[in-house]
Amino acid sequence: MRFRACIALLLYVSACATSAPSPGKSAAWNPRLANLQRAATLPWTDGGRCAVQEASEPWPVLAERCYQALDHDRIEFHDITGRCAIASAGAAAMGLGVGVCVLAAPEIVVGAVIVAGVVVVGFAISEALEAYEKRGRPQVRPPPTLPVPETRPVPEVKPVPVTKPAPPKPSPKKRPKPEPAGQDWPPPLPPEVTERDRRPECEPIPEPHEGKDDAHNECADKFPPNRYPGMDVLVGGVSFDALQVGVRVLWEIKTHQFDTYPDFIQDKEIDKEMKQLDKERKAAAACGYDFVIGVSTDAHKLALLKRDSTFKIVVTGCKR
C-alpha cells in the first residue's frame, strides 16, 4: 500500500513540476507551503507535527490523515454546502466522516469551520514556516477569497468536585459461580480476518483519470471531494471516478448536458449507463463500499431513477 501511495505522490509532484511559475511570482503555487498556511489557522493537539509531516500531500489527504490530531474540543464542522450529507450514514458509523469531509473541501466556506478561542500556530508549523523564510522563499498568505475560520471565546470550565463512590452492597441472592474446569472453557475465537486480507482486490488503488475531459475530472476531484485528486480509483477490478475523503463511498460522475439530447438519444444513453452503473454498484457493495452517482442536471437524475429508484444520485451542477 505504501508503495502505491508513493507512486501516486510521484505522479502528483511530476505534474506540478511541469508547470511551476517563476520565483518572482506569488508563492501560492507551492502546495506544501499553502498547506502549512492553511493548517496554521487550526488548533492542533500535537503542535502541528502531523500537518508538517503530511504537508507535501494534497490537502484532502492531509486533512484525512491528521484529522485525529485536531483539538476537537475547540472546533466544530458544519456541512454548509450539503456535499457531505450523502455520506451521513457512513459518517455516523465512523464517528468522524462529516468532519473530515468538511475539512478536506478545496475551499474554506464561511461558517463551515468554527474554532473556539484564538488559534496559536503550532510550534512545528511555525518552525516549518520560519525555515522557508530563512531560505529566502516568499511566505504564502491565505488567498483573500478564502476566509479564515470563525473564532469565538472559549467558555470557562469550572472543575467538578470528585466524590468517592460508595462501595457496592453485596447481594445475598447472588452466589459466586465456580470456575469451570479446563475442558469446559470455550475454544478460543479465530483471529479476526480483515477486509484487506480476505479480499486484497478491494484495496483502493489510485490510477490516472481515464478520460481527458478536464471539466469532468475537476468535478470528480472537488465535489465528493476525491481522496486522490487527479486520479481514478480501482476497487474490485472496476474503475471509479472518485473515493470520497473520510468515508467508504465510491463515486461515478456524469457531466454531459443530458437535457439537450433528443428523446431517442436520451433513451439510448440511459440504456448504456444502466449497464455501467449496475456493474459499479455491485463491485462497490462486494468490497463494503457505498456507491453514489453525481449528475449535472435534475432531468438526468429523474431519468435514472425512473429506471432504478434504488440508486443514490446527487445533482452536482458541474458544467462541461
Tens digit of each residue's pLDDT (9 = 90 or more) over 217-260? 999 998 888 999 999 999 999 999 999 988 899 999 999 889 89
Distance (Å, rounded) from C-alpha 11 to C-alpha 14?
5
- Asked if residue 2 is part of any domain, the answer here is no
Q: Are strands 242-243 and 290-295 parallel, antiparallel or unpaired?
A: unpaired
- Asked if residue 274 is part of any domain, the answer here is yes
217 shares its domain with 298 = yes
233 shares its domain with 127 = no
- For cell 463551515, what's the residue? 112
- For cell 469550572, what's the residue? 158
Q: Would you say residue 114 has pLDDT above 50?
A: yes
pTM of the model: 0.52
Tens digit of each residue's pLDDT (9 = 90 or more) over 67-88? 888 888 888 888 777 777 665 4
306 shares its domain with 212 = yes
Distance (Å, rounded) from C-alpha 118 to C-alpha 249?
35
**Is 252 in contact with 291 (CB distance < 8 Å)?**
yes
Distance (Å, rounded) from C-alpha 47 to C-alpha 204?
31
* Section 116-144 average pLDDT: 73
- Asked if residue 101 is part of any domain, the answer here is yes
Helix ranges, the chain (H): 2-17, 31-39, 49-53, 59-66, 88-94, 97-103, 123-134, 195-198, 214-222, 263-286, 298-307
220 shares its domain with 134 = no
Tens digit of each residue's pLDDT (9 = 90 or more) over 156-205? 555 555 555 556 665 555 555 544 444 443 444 444 444 444 578 899 99
Number of domains making up the chain:
2
* Nearest one of 238, 245, 256 to 295, comparing CA atoms: 256
Distance (Å, rounded) from C-alpha 18 to C-alpha 94?
39
Its domain, for residue 137, covers: 24-152
130 shares its domain with 237 = no
- Asked if residue 51 is part of any domain, the answer here is yes
116 shares its domain with 230 = no
51 shares its domain with 146 = yes
